[in-house]
Amino acid sequence: MKILVIGLGGVTNGGKTTLAEKLKKMLPNCDAISQDDFFKPESEVETDERGFKLYDVLDALYMDEMVESIHNWMNSRTSSGVVTEEPLNTCNSVKNTEDVYILIVEGFLLYNYEPLNKLWNRRYFLTLPYEECKRRRSTRVYQPADTPGYFDGHVWPMYLKYKNELEESASNVVYLDGTKSQEELLSCVYSDIIQELKKLRE
């Protein structure tokens, strides 16, 4: 039994969740975990001197619980042999992978937390230019809602900070252009994961 843990990180509104959901349907024995499910309640998230809730930092998340969830998934797969839903297209490239289980972990702060960095087999990072990211963010409804100036005052600076940290410390990260079509991004990542599956089977 082999396990492949895929990180799908990057900028807010970059298309991570959509990509993860599509990959889950196409890949054999595939599950997904979303970092958004590990946010602390609003009352536990710090507020800065400008009144901004500091959601775009690691301290706003229950990261230990997230790591534990991933480990639990890995342990249950290696001990139970439970088969998850079959992929939509069982083309030849994904046949003979019954003994491989894939977990896609998607979120905006995946690669800046050391306990997670021991787990990745592949790491992808979606990027967007400032204007496009701001435009997309403005069309989304959040709970709590973004306050005026929040994107420029907190969200974008934190994205740049963590992206710079990643570029300085990490190798083997595949950067993806989030302005490309969902089909292009899906095709790129899917074919790359298929190559990883072939390597695991060799």
Average pLDDT over every residue of 55-65: 96
Q: Which of 31, 36, 146, 177 is catalytic?
A: 36
Q: What percent of the chain has pLDDT over 70?
A: 90
Taking 60 as the threshold, does the pLDDT of residue 92 lie above it?
Answer: no
CA gap 17, 14 in Å, rounded: 9
Distance of CA 76 to the CA centre of its chain: 21
* 36 classed as catalytic: yes
pTM of the model: 0.88
Taking 60 as the threshold, does the pLDDT of residue 62 lie above it?
Answer: yes
Beta strands at 173-177 and 30-34: parallel, antiparallel or unpaired: unpaired
List domains and CATH numbers for the chain.
15-77+99-201 (3.40.50.300)
φ and ψ at residue 80, rounded to 5 degrees: -105, -30
